[in-house]
Each structure stands twice: as structure tokens, then as C-alpha cells.
Structure 1
Amino acid sequence: MAKAKTYSDNQVTGREGEALVKARIHSMGFAFNPADSMEAGIDGTLEIRDPVTHAATGKTIAVQVKTTKSGSYTRETGTSLEYLCEPEDVDYWRNWTIPVIVVMVRLSDGSMYWKSVREAGDPDGRRLTVDKTLDAFDATAVNALADLAVDTDRFGVWMPPLRGGEPLHLNLLRIELPTTVFMAASPFRNGREARAELLRHDPSPPDEWVLRNDTLVAFRDPRASSLRHIVDADTVEEMPTETFAFPDDEAEEHQFIKLLGRTMRTQLDGSLCFDKDQRAYYFPPAPMGIAVTYTYQSLKQGASSGVVAVYKDKKDDTKIHFVRHHAFVPRFWRIGDAWYLSVQPTFVFTRDGTRPDRFGSERLAKKRQLEKNGAILGQFLMWRHFFCGLGAKPFDDLFEATPAAGAIRFRPVEAVQAPRAVPERQWKTRDPASRTSGQEEFQV
């Protein structure tokens, strides 16, 4: 009697898992195109479909389905699990020119989880660590899958996430300039010679001035300070700021940027420190200690953050391992007929609140790798409150409501409404050295 043809249990289980994944993908609003019988480790492709126009986008993700009837995954808990991929699969996936995801299906409870093979852990790129909440393969994965389909091999090509629009907060502050600027002839050829002369008369001379082509420019009257020693007093003129703030000559524009930077530095003196290596301003340690907490206004409510945080040695908590200071790198931009300050949040690391940390660059690099947009937005909101005094008491506002003569002020810039939103999972971040778990460092 001839032996009957059979289908193995593994074949049936695999097909059942693929059918469930196909149905789930279609329920998300995407298209699933199964591979033909000649597949070597990819069961099909998921194509992003525009939810509004229903248009096929051509943005695809390769899908490999791994199905099991029942049982526990490796190191499975109520919140996470691990999946170990076969070495030959990993080698094959790495050669694909589009993203590859693994979808894990368990028939006994109908659970489905997914992970991009790019997120496989070291040392051999085989281990996928799954968060059961963040990595569930259901409607909550729509935005992350769309984000994964971003074309990264060509500059400027972007497949937007599929949630509705949201406000985008530009890291810009509008600068309110003084109404007038002072110009005067100087006998000195450059700033170095003029500063040397200033120091002969004043051990701490004013810094908010620039000198070019034998002309000194300042927001304050040079005759009212030691600057009178480096100008011809009879040539001092008070002119509208616009005459100097918006030149056609690039070199003159750079001079105005320098004047803005020196004026801001003078106003920040005593409130922030300056790190020359990073060109960043940062919060100094507390006068009677080190740690500092700053209270600010987030988008929705009052909030606070440890802007100077002390991290103790894990083996000896009487010793300081390092100190982290919140900081920002400034840059001035002329946009149309207005000037803006861009605030790029960053961190400065010290050994004890004052002395530089020799491992600071490594700590900063690690911090930047882990931070996402949500944390950066929170830091910017804190700096915006610092500069603009939003909701601050009068004595907390560095840039007073009625500024002193020659001072500059900063105003917030309205958010821009974007047609698409950033996937929520891309906004998650945690402090790499924090002892708390699951807590966002900043409120937005």
C-alpha cells in the first residue's frame, strides 16, 4: 500500500500563524503580500497604506512569522520576553535592503509581538528583547511600523507617521532688541588692542561691545562706562538698532551676532556658567551644596527638574561618581527682519560640580544615544521658561519685564501645527544613570 501524503504539524502551525498575521496587518489598514512557495526566511511584505487617501505608498517592510502552539518564551515574564533567532536567519535578514521584522505568534492565547531585527542585542545580533506593552502587534504598532518604513538611504525622503497632526515646538526664542545702538570712532584697530587698553583702567571692563573698522558698537552709551577710554567721545552717536542689526554685508552680520552673544553672556553672568569646550552654558552647583532643582512651567502644568544632579559611587555612596548639569548651546539666527536664539539642550559633566569630568564626553555621547524628542522638548521648555520667565515671579525673571538700558529680552515662539505626528514610542527616554524606573525626567 502506497504511503499517503501528509502535512506536518509544523507546517499547519506555521500557516495558521501566517494567516493570523495577515488578518492583523489588514485590520491595521496596511496591505500584506505573502511570499510564494520559494521563500528562504521571509513570509511576505507589509506595505504602508495611506489611511486618508488609501494610496499604496511603496514603503514596505519584510515580515517573518514565528509561530508556536503554546508554552513560554525564553525568560518570559508578565511584561517581557526574549526570542533567539537562528544564525542563518540573521545572516539572511542583514542582506535585505528593506527593514525586516519578526512577528511572534502564540496560538494558545492569540498573543502577537513584533520586533525589528535591527534591535537584536549583542554580541551576535540574535536576541530580540520584547516589551509586551510597547511591542504588541496590534493597532498600537501602526505608528512605529510607519516610522520603521522611513527611507534612510536617501536624503530628504520621509514616510510620515500615520497619527493625526500635532504641534511642533521650534527650539527658537525671538529676541527683542534694544531700540537704539551706540557707535563711536576708536583709535584702536581691533578688539585685542582695545581690551588691553581697557584693562589698564578697569580690572573688570564691560564685555558687551564689538570693534570693527575703527568703529565701536554697543547697546549702552560707552561714555557711561570705562569704554570711554577706547573711543573718541565726540564721535558717539545713538542710532536706531535696525541700522546695524540687518546689514547686507555678511561680515557686519557676524559682528552683530558677536554683539548679541556678548550681551547675553553679560546678562547670564552670575546665573549660569560657560563651558569653553562645548561652547555651552550650564547651571552651576548650589552655593551651599551641589544639587539644584529648577521649577518651570511645562505645556500643561508646573514642573521641576534636577538641573544639577549628583550621582554617587555605587560601591561607596559617600563618594561622588560625577555631577550632571543641564546645559544648552546657543546660536543666533536672522530670519527675515527678526533675530532668534536657538536653544540646543545638552549636558555638562563635572567631577564635583566645578572641576571637569574627564569622562564627560563619553557620558554625553551615551546620553544623546538614549534621548528622544520628548525629553529634548522637556529640556527646551525648561530653558524657555528660564529665558522668558513664563509664570515666574518678578525676582525670578533674569530678563525683567522692564529691561535695563541696552539689555535684550527673549519671547517664546508659537508652535507650528504639523499634519502628521511623531510615533509615541519614539518620544520615550530614560536617564541612563537614574535610579528611578519608568519615570520621564521632564514633563512636557
Structure 2
Amino acid sequence: MDTIIVLLNRDLRVHDHPALAAACARARRVVPLFVVDPAIPPRRRAGFLADALLDLRSSLRRRGGDLILRRGDPVAETMRLADEVGAQAVWVSADVTRYAQRRERRLAAECARRRLDFRTFPGVTVIPADALRPDGGDHYRVFTPYWRAWSAEQRRAIVPPPPVVRVPEGLDPGVLPLPKAEPYGVLRGGETEGRRRMTLWLRHCLDTYAETRDDLAGETTSRLSPYLHFGCLSPLELANAGAASEEFVRRLCWRDFHHQVTRAFPDIDRREYRPRGRRWNDDKDVVAAWREGRTGMPIVDAAMRQLAAEGWLHDRARLIAAAYLTRCLRVDWRIGAEHFAEYLLDADVAVNCGSWQWLAGTGNDTRPHRAFNPVRQAKRFDPDGEYVRRYVPEISHLPRTFIHEPWKTGVIRHYPPPIAVNWDPVDQDLRED
């Protein structure tokens, strides 16, 4: 072929990019295109996205190419550019959300109308979301059988970055979308930074991941999830590199699990996967207190304040905060998922909404009525209260005995009493099914 457009979405990298590598191998000219879609507001991820796009443009330019940026409807802009450069094909990395599947169908239809070759490629997950199916079903509904099938599945080979990328001459590269303000400064976006962090974490923390993964105050978790969300890192490359730790690879399998569920149930962000007929608490003051980190439950408030300040949360902190909202306060999981989607750098629809539904008992959980005790969780995973003291300074003076239960000391100034203490005293870990 003479010219192929590679439409980029959640695959902002040059390493292990099957669509980009195949296009560079097959065509004389390749147009890496990213369309800033007004229908998908970047929310507080705008700075991270801008970093990723700038880094990708630099990587492509070092290979003789460029990142072409446009703004508008991605299908319309892709077709307009295809007419401009005389493209024969449009290739993309397959995605799973309702919006992504609709976009792919529209692209396929427009390409067919113009007699352009349209193809989807793997790359967003370790194993393609449509690759594994149980007997008699279109997707796995329970994690453990999926984990067994996923672990036994043969993986594709890692694709090296293309040495040369040739774009059509005289093509306007477009302007990078820069945010007006940078809300987070903890993590910088881009493949270069993602690969640096990946290399350091694999070298220094992988071996102890199973023992330290739930330490809320520690800094041993990888914090690579935003780079996976934007495709700055290949999940397959990360899974292969982290194979020495089954616990770590299991986390990546959970990510794939939620993606294959979302592909089969694309309304996962709005409809309950397994409706339970529950009546949710619609008290706006309760919701506001949870969002602002003033529930009176220190471990929950610490998590919510970290989320607002950094755009990232430890997996255990997410579990505690989400379970408290849905299990103790009885608030609709959709409210919590939307709040996380606003603040998290890594909040893709599949993992965010799939995890919230799982915790709320409406998702892929074989035991939807598990008991959960936030105080016991706090004492277990933040035993000295270091995490709480870091984000809830008004009670940092309390001793270890009371840091997770300040109401037992009597009146605490400048900190509210707990909204709800109606949790079951029998705590069952919610991490696995």
C-alpha cells in the first residue's frame, strides 16, 4: 500500500504497537493520527494526556515521522484526512467500551463506503478481549475460570518499534492540546516516563510485590496504571516482564477480565451487570461528605483526599473507599464510579466501572453479600496509621490505638464523627472471588 492512517486512541506509544508496526512494514507512508474528541472530555487527565502526546510526537519525529493532531469527530476527521493524503487503509487498536465499539463500527462503514481497508489490531490488553470464551457463553462472568484460561493462552510476540516512520510531505501536524492548568504534578505522562518507571519498579519492587502490595503507606506499588490506561506502556510487555510475580500478573489479568466483560456488556457504566433490586441512599450530604473526605472514617477520608490531590489511589485504598460508599453508606455505585472517573488518571470505563460493580455486589462476584469492616481493613493495611496521618493531618496527633477510631477518644476538634458505623464486624477480604 502507499498510505495507511493509524488512528491512535488508547495506544500512545511506539514500542509493541501492532497496528503502527504493521502499517510501517506494509506501506510507503504512514499517518499516525490522534483526534482530540470533544465527546470524551479529558477531565483532570488533560495534563497527563498532553504529556503523552508530546512524548509520542517526539518519538515519531526521531524516526522521521510525526504525530498528526486534529480536533473533532474522530470518524469525520479520519475520513477527511484519508481524502487529503489519498490513504488506502485505516487501522486502529481494538477497544471495548460502548463508545469505542460504536466508533469502530462507524469507521468500518465509512471505510467500506470509500473502499478503504479497515482493520483492528490487539494492543490494549494482554490477551485480546474477544479471544477467550467459555463453553456456551460469549464471555467469562467469573474471574477464576478466566484466570485459568488466560494463563494457558498463548500470547502474541512483542513487536519492536518501527525504525522509520514516513509521513506524507507537507502535511499540517496540528497543535498539541495543552491544558489551561495542571491539576496533578505527581505523575507525568508519556511512554518515555512510563518505561522509565516500569524499568525501575521491575528492578527494585517486583520480587517483594506479593508481600508489600497492600501496604497503604508504602511506595512499593508500581503506579503504572495511568500509563496502561493511555497505552503509554504495552500491557503484554509488562506482563511478560513481570512474570516472576504471579500476584502482579494476576492484577493485569483482572484488567483484561474487566475489558472482556465490558466488550460483551458495553453498558457497564450505566446498567447493573447483575441487578439486585437494591434501594440506594440518595442523601446528597452523605455523598458530598464522602467526595470531600469528611466522613469521619479516617481511612476513607485519607483515600478521598489523596484522590483529589494526586489523581491516583492505591488499589487497597480504592477498595476501602468504594466499599464504604456502597456497603456502609448504601450509595449507588454509579455515583462513586463517576467521581473516580473525574479524578483518576487511570479511570478507563472497563476497570473503573467493573471494579465498582464488583464491590457493590452488582457485578462479576459470586458472593455479592460479603461483609466488610473498614476499621479492620485500616488496622490491617495501615497498622501504624502512617497513611491516615499523611492525608488527615487534623488527627495526626492521635496515638496508634485511636488513629483509625478517633470517635473512641471523645470529642475531636476539627474532625467529624463517622457518618455510618453499621458495618458487619466480620471482615471478609473482597479482593478475590
TM-score (norm 1): 0.24
Which of the two has greater strand per residue? 1
Compare CA radii of gyration and give the structure with the larger one.
Answer: 1
